[in-house]
Amino acid sequence: MKRKDLILKLIGEMASYVLDEDPMRVVISLHQEEDGLHLAIIDDCKHSDEDIEQLEKTLNSRKRPELAAYYGAMTGHDLLGSSRLNLLGWQIKHSDVVRIGDGIKIDLWLGGERFDSRHFNIPEKEE
Amino acid sequence: MDIAGIGGALVNAALVGFTGLLLINLSGIEVSGPTFAAVLTMTGFGLFGKTPLNVLPIILGVYISARLIGKRMKDYLIIALFGTALGPLVSALAWELGLPVVPAVFAGLTGGIITGFFLPSIAVSMLHLHQGYNLYNMGLSCGFFGLFAAAFIIGFGHSWEGQLYWYTEPSILLMLLVPVFSTLLIFTGLIHGGKQSLKDLKAIQSIPGRLPSDFVDMASVSGALLNSGLIGLIGSAYIYFVGASFNGPVIGGLLTIMGFGAFGTHLKNSWPVVAGVIIATLLTGNSLNAPGPILAAIFCTTLAPLAGEFGIPVGLAAGFVHLLMVLQTGSWHGGMNLYNNGFAGGLTAALFVSVIQWYKTNKSEM
């Protein structure tokens, strides 16, 4: 898939998710590297701890190549109904969700096989 | 069963199912919701249309398509497994055109490979048409391709009409096959997950079911097995209640909806669609146990996500339209697409999705 198409799909699905909550402010930030990219989405809506836990679990779900290449085509495209972040979770390398102000910040990291995610300072998981 | 007898049909079904399992294993993919659904569907349709020989060329075609664009077989595994719905097209090209043996085998093999080659591109486009609200997307995709295949065959002067073989001999073995398997799944789920499996089963009932909803991931293995088993038991009870035959298509249908009990179908999102089919059957003067309506009542659960996402009235209406559609669509592709209900369901879902999207997009909020 062309990088531009992928980015458009990811932004579309994430925007659909955050706009479901009717936020007053949304910031979408894209940082591209040669072999990877970082997408950050910030909103100002209140989210429960359960919501955030579920969101992080969905975005960091196990990789499903048999579903990603086929059903992943619907990411950010077929938006009638609830947003489906699992479509997105299968296609990214890593995600973090943190509280920021009243809302949350969702960080998504993507990259090819040669992509070195350390350049983007993915936080180490605390044991 | 009407052609090869019960034993022959069961052995063929097992071989087709084993072919699917082997492909999953060779692709390095774990069995989960979609692959469980695919294997049970392949096994079920091994009772009425698929054979190991007519599915292999299609799988090979999907593999070639994947390699052409630099993907691996595992990326298109689901398309390859469900794409075998066009097995009868391979058989028709090989054995129904009146060709000598060698050209006949060549025609079947080439036709199957070409079919499989086209399926990934069609499958992805068809997804956008109904946005994941038709669980049997490969039914729609294969039906779409089947329209062209039928046009080509008929255009070159060959007549081809699907034939209906409907086994009606009562058999205790066939009657008990699905209920026993369903009970086994329920016990396995309960033993594996204990009380948690019941909680997961309850959680599954609140999932809309839109593609791709892998209940194994979204709930648990045990919850998915319980859901699958329950669907099998209730489906069998319905067949028994309306006095339909437990034959190849019916058992195949029950196995399919059990498979999708791990991938989108559950009792709460299914009943409105089934009720819609029953109402349409009665209002149109059809019999509930006739071949078309009984298969529609089973396979209409392809539209369960519409009820799961948009509510009971939409589910009822979708089921109603589905019955009327599915009684016509089989002749469009000459019976070459085994997932005729998936084809009709896809068209029905596309209609409902279009209207709902138009309404939601244009209705003024201010």
B189 and B147 housed in the same domain: no
Residue A81 is nearest to which of B29, B127, B208, comparing CB atoms?
B208
Rounded to the nearest angstrom, the gap between the alpha carbon of residue A19 and the centroid of all alpha carbons in its chain is: 14
In this predicted structure, the answer to whether residue B29 has a pLDDT above a threshold of 90 is: yes
Whether residue A82 and residue B309 make contact (CB cut-off 8 A), yes or no, is: yes
Whether residue A71 and residue B212 make contact (CB cut-off 8 A), yes or no, is: yes
Mean pLDDT of chain B: 94
B97 and B132 housed in the same domain: yes
Length in residues, chain A: 127
B190 and B141 housed in the same domain: no
- HEC secondary structure over chain A: CCHHHHHHHHHHHHHHHHHCCCCCCEEEEEEEECCEEEEEEEECCCCCHHHHHHHHHHHCCCCCHHHHCCHHHHCCCCCCCCCCHHHHHCCCCEEEEEEECCEEEEEEEEECCCCCHHHHCCCCCCC
Q: Which structure tokens are listed for B86?
A: 């066009």
What pLDDT was estimated at residue B176?
96
Residue A80 is nearest to which of B34, B211, B353, comparing CB atoms?
B353
End-to-end CA distance of chain B: 61
Q: Is position A118 within any domain? A: no
Q: Which residue has the higher pLDDT, B364 or A88?
A: A88
Which of B266, B22, B221, B41 is closest to B136 using CA atoms? B41
B145 and B177 housed in the same domain: no
B202 and B245 housed in the same domain: yes
Percent of chain B beyond pLDDT 90?
A: 86
Residue B75 is nearest to which of A62, A66, A81, comparing CB atoms?
A66
**At B141, which helix (H) or strand (E)?**
helix B137-155
Angstrom distance (rounded) from CA B26 to CA B301: 30
DSSP reduced 3-state for B116: helix
In this predicted structure, the answer to whether residue B142 has a pLDDT above a threshold of 60 is: yes
Angstrom distance (rounded) from CA A95 to CA A53: 12
Q: Total structural domains in chain A? A: 1
Over the stretch B72-121, which tens digit does the pLDDT of each residue have? 999 999 999 999 999 999 999 998 888 899 999 999 999 999 999 999 99
Q: Is position B161 within any domain? A: no
B130: nearest CA in chain A? Answer: A78
Angstrom distance (rounded) from CA B59 to CA A27: 45
What pLDDT was estimated at residue A127?
47
B189 and B334 housed in the same domain: yes
- Best B72, B134, B217, B310 member to test A by mutation, with max A CBs in 10 Å, is B217
Q: Is position A124 within any domain? A: no
Which chain A residues are within 8 Å of B76, Cβ to Cβ? 69-70
Q: Which of B126, B155, B184 finishes a domain?
A: B155
Whether residue B127 and residue A87 make contact (CB cut-off 8 A), yes or no, is: no
Angstrom distance (rounded) from CA B238 to CA B288: 10
B151 and B176 housed in the same domain: no
CA distance A75 to chain B (A): 10
What pLDDT was estimated at residue B136?
97
Over the stretch B123-141, which tens digit does the pLDDT of each residue have? 999 999 999 999 999 999 9
Q: CATH no. for residue A64? A: 3.30.565.10
Whether residue B208 and residue A70 make contact (CB cut-off 8 A), yes or no, is: no
Residues of A with CB under 8 A from a CB of B: 61-62, 64-71, 73-74, 77-82, 84, 86-87
Q: Total structural domains in chain B? A: 2
- Best A66, A71, A83, A113 member to test B by mutation, with max B CBs in 10 Å, is A66
Dihedral Cα B240, B241, B244, B248, nearest 10 deg? -40
Q: Is position A26 within any domain? A: yes
CA distance B357 to chain A (A): 6
Q: Is position A119 within any domain? A: no
A vs B, Cβ pairs < 8 A, gives: 69
- Boundaries of domain holding B215: 172-360
Whether residue B217 and residue A65 make contact (CB cut-off 8 A), yes or no, is: no
B119: nearest CA in chain A? Answer: A70
B247 and B283 housed in the same domain: yes
What pLDDT was estimated at residue A78?
79
B220 and B350 housed in the same domain: yes
Q: Which structure tokens are listed for B77?
A: 């595994």
What pLDDT was estimated at residue B91?
93
Question: Within a 10 A sphere around the Cβ of B156, how many other Cβ atoms?
Answer: 8
Q: Is position B339 within any domain? A: yes
Q: Which of A87-92's residues contact partners 24+ apart within 8 Å by CB, and which partners? A: A87/A13, A87/B212, A88/A10, A88/A13, A88/A14, A88/A59, A89/A58, A89/A59, A89/A60, A89/A61, A90/A61, A90/A63, A90/A64, A90/A65, A91/A6, A91/A10, A92/A10, A92/A59
